[in-house]
Amino acid sequence: MRADDIVISTYPKCGTTWTQRIVGMLVFGSAAPFPVQDSSPWPDFRAPPPGAMRALAESQEHRRFLKSHLPFDALPKYEGVKYIHVARDGRDAAMSFFNHKSHYTPGVIARWKEISASDPKFGDDGFDYSPQDPVAHFAGWVDGPEDDQGDPGAGYFVMENSFWEARHDPDVLLVHYNDMKADLAGEMRRIAEFIEIDVPEELWPELVAAADFAAMKAASAQLMPSAGEVWKGGGATFINKGTNGRWQGVCRQEDLARYEAKVAERFSPELAAWCEHGRLVAGDPRQTP
């Protein structure tokens, strides 16, 4: 790690690429599109050949902003490194995760199966890598397999508890998907202050406009140039709708009730409120005892 590295670690489909885009614009001082995957290495990604992500990270000369889907207590902690975590209501993350997985290309499904079969931790267990039924996917997500992808240490509830425990660490910033949608400019300024980047005031409107969801979707081919290898429809599929509440009227009431029971069991009331609502409604995590 380098002393000024930035680590963006989230549960999947909680605003990871959105935050990478924002941090990248702050680092580069420009609203111009850039290839996110090439500019922001993902060290815990296993699809590329071994060592590829390390080589990519070591080759970069700009201030690095790295991606991860690991809990905070599974990440290396170094003095000076900044950690940004983005949370989202689990129901929204689960529905977005379904869209993500349901559009995988045959080639990437074959790769996931190859990785799993070669790892004794998982093996060739017949896991459904590309579910097509959102109702069944959400039910499986609540039960665990669709949530943690076979690794109980990397699931949604583990991830949120881990970062919540670190909320008072001055090198950790908790951001919420809802707040980014409600006040994008305000959250971008919070991030800039946290990573200690001064932005000329006249540049802010351009950066905020480029971080808008519609602008990102329009620039998806430039932001995600190799996405077609992973998702049918490429970057326009990956950057899908950016909306919340799609579980309403889709998921079964009994599954939603099981989700709420799991939240009550696994989260404190304060963490449950944060995950569902975000800082603007539930309050700043740093100020929560």
What percent of the chain is modeled with pLDDT above 90? Answer: 66
| C-alpha closest to that of 218 among 210, 226, 208, 206 | 210
CB atoms within 10 A of CB 193: 12
Tokens describing residue 2:
């380098």
Handedness of CA 167, 171, 176, 182 (dihedral sign): positive
Q: How far is CA 88 from CA 100, 157, 258, in A?
A: 16, 11, 18
Q: Which residues pair with 148 in a beta bridge?
A: none
Q: Are 100 and 12 in contact (CB under 8 A)?
A: yes
- pLDDT tier, 228 (very low <50, low <70, confident <90, very high otherwise): confident
How much helix, strand and coil, in percent to the nearest 5, is found in the chain? Answer: 55, 5, 40
Q: Is pLDDT above 70 for 126? A: no
Give tens-digit pLDDT for 229-284.
787 777 666 776 777 888 899 999 999 999 999 999 999 999 999 999 999 999 99
Mean pLDDT score of the chain: 91
- Mean local confidence (pLDDT), 47-68: 91
The pLDDT value recorded for residue 48 is: 81
Q: Are 9 and 69 in contact (CB under 8 A)?
A: yes
Q: Which residues pair with 6 in a beta bridge?
A: 65, 82
- Mean local confidence (pLDDT), 62-74: 95
Domain range list for the chain:
6-287
- pLDDT tier, 115 (very low <50, low <70, confident <90, very high otherwise): confident
Q: Are 75 and 43 in contact (CB under 8 A)?
A: no
CATH of 6-287, one of 3.40.50.300, 3.20.20.70, 3.40.228.10, 3.40.190.10: 3.40.50.300
- Lowest pLDDT segment from 122-131, 146-155, 208-217, 244-253: 122-131
pTM of this structure? 0.93
Sorted by sequence, the CB contacts under 8 Å of residue 21 that are 6+ apart come out as 36, 210, 211, 216, 223
The pLDDT value recorded for residue 146 is: 78
